[in-house]
Chain A
Amino acid sequence: MSSGEHHDHDHDHSDVPSDLALRVKSLESLLVDKGLVDPAALDAIVDYYEHKVGPRNGARVVARAWADPDYKQRLLTDATAAIAELGYSGRQGEHMVVVENTPAVHNMVVCTLCSCYPWPVLGLPPAWYKSAAYRSRSVIEPRAVLQEFGVSVPEDAEVRVWDSTSEVRYLVLPERPAGTEGMSEEQLAALVTRDSMIGVGLAAAPQGAAA
């Protein structure tokens, strides 16, 4: 590695991104030269996480649950199987649980110990989800965190925080917005934000609806 003079200290504190880029490039060529990784596999992994997974997957799950009561029941009973019905499965989503927001309970998800997140339905986590601020504060002052995201939960409702300590991954089923009767699944999915499925946001109101 390029900062190799202090080998048990190679995460040099003066690293600027270009140093990191060089170190990673050096590591990649070493691993490829040794036959430890296949460069085409690396490209395929990047492509998969850029294009095949992401919050649009989760939005389709939510929209289906809003539109189809039987699907919603299956989703709340065995989320892993119900999500797989739509073709989403795998790494960091092997054991899924869906929790439903209602007027009485607002769910939000965190991983205080690392940054566990349901990749197959939401993609890779945003930086704020991995931040020390979110990981530390969500369990002790969830309402203050929600306020910063613009979500105000009434005092007489419960805020229920899910700390993802195991390989179970949580997806929030947000409340269906008013004024969406008769909308197609595709139209509904467009209202489902990533943040609403983490529980730090609400689904968007349909265009033209009163705020």
Chain B
Amino acid sequence: MNGVHDMGGMHGLGPLVPEQNEPVWHAPWEARVFALTSAIGAWRKWNLDESRQQIERMPGADYLRSSYYEKWLIRTVALAIQTGLLTREEAMSGRPDPAAQAATPPLKAAQVEPSMRRGGPTTRSVDRQPVFRVGDSVRTRNIHPQTHTRLPRYARDKQGVVVALHGAHVFPDSNALRQGENAQPLYTVRFKAQDLWGEAANARDTVCIDLWEDYLAPV
């Protein structure tokens, strides 16, 4: 979707303010939101792409106003309600439905480190053969889906060159909608900065973007 989360190339989004000796968290609640989100994710009620999509669905003004972990909090509550882990009433009151039976958490403390170290690879074994090869020129499609996509607006309908093939990865656009993983070749495509931004850009500079095959057309 053409949301404010798709920020590449926008102007006027404030100053860049690096912080010296920045702590991992700026308040204890940030750490708790991070941990809650990670732990409840172990129920596997939603996938990574649905999770990103949920944040992108925030009204644009709220997205810009909210801090990173505030977005996580809003997202986690919304997904928990949508998937039935919580009722809306429980989320509002902060108290469990008295009729509900207590569940057993799927992620125990002893499983945390192994689980984090394992992660969740998005590569899949598929029969689909890559259409493009390293060195091929490609053009990105001019698409504007109202739903989740990882083809940034600034890189649509642009020509570039394939510089790497990463095997087949889960396709976010379908996975976010629970329409299947549709795993397919993932490429890195290199664009000249001038092809993206015009003559004002440095003639030597480039931008490399990871793009799924369905985003690409032959030139």
Given A114-B5, A132-B13, residue A41 in contact with residue B104 (CB < 8 A):
no
Asked if A178 is at the interface of the complex by the 8 Å CB criterion, the answer is no
Asked if B136 is at the interface of the complex by the 8 Å CB criterion, the answer is no
Asked if B65 is at the interface of the complex by the 8 Å CB criterion, the answer is yes
Chain B residues, CB < 8 A from A184: none
Asked if A159 is at the interface of the complex by the 8 Å CB criterion, the answer is yes
Given A42-B32, A142-B205, A168-B186, residue A136 in contact with residue B8 (CB < 8 A):
yes
Asked if A186 is at the interface of the complex by the 8 Å CB criterion, the answer is no
Q: Which of B17, B90, B93, B196 is close to A34, meaning CB atoms less than 8 Å apart?
A: B90
Chain A: number of interface residues, binned into ranges: 35 or more
Total interface residues on B, using CB and 8 Å?
102
Q: Is the CB of B166 within 8 A of A41?
A: no
Chain B residues, CB < 8 A from A142: 205
Chain B residues, CB < 8 A from A24: 29, 32-33, 36, 73
Interface residues of B in 94-135 (CB under 8 A from A): 94-96, 100, 102-105, 107-109, 111-113, 115-123
Binary CB contact string for chain A from 83 to 122 against chain B (1 if under 8 A, 0 otherwise):
0000001111111010000000000000011110000100
Given A37-B39, A45-B39, A132-B13, residue A165 in contact with residue B150 (CB < 8 A):
yes
Given A25-B29, A167-B169, residue A132 in contact with residue B96 (CB < 8 A):
no
| In the complex, residue of chain A having the shortest beta-carbon distance to the beta carbon of B26 | A127
Asked if A74 is at the interface of the complex by the 8 Å CB criterion, the answer is no
Q: Is the CB of A166 within 8 A of B169?
A: yes
Q: Is the CB of A136 within 8 A of B13?
A: yes
Chain B residues, CB < 8 A from A159: 193, 202, 204-206
Binding site for B on A (CB under 8 A): 1-2, 4, 7, 10-11, 13, 15, 17, 20-21, 23-31, 33-38, 40-46, 48-50, 52, 54, 89-95, 97, 112-115, 120, 123-124, 126-128, 130-140, 142-143, 145, 148-149, 155-168
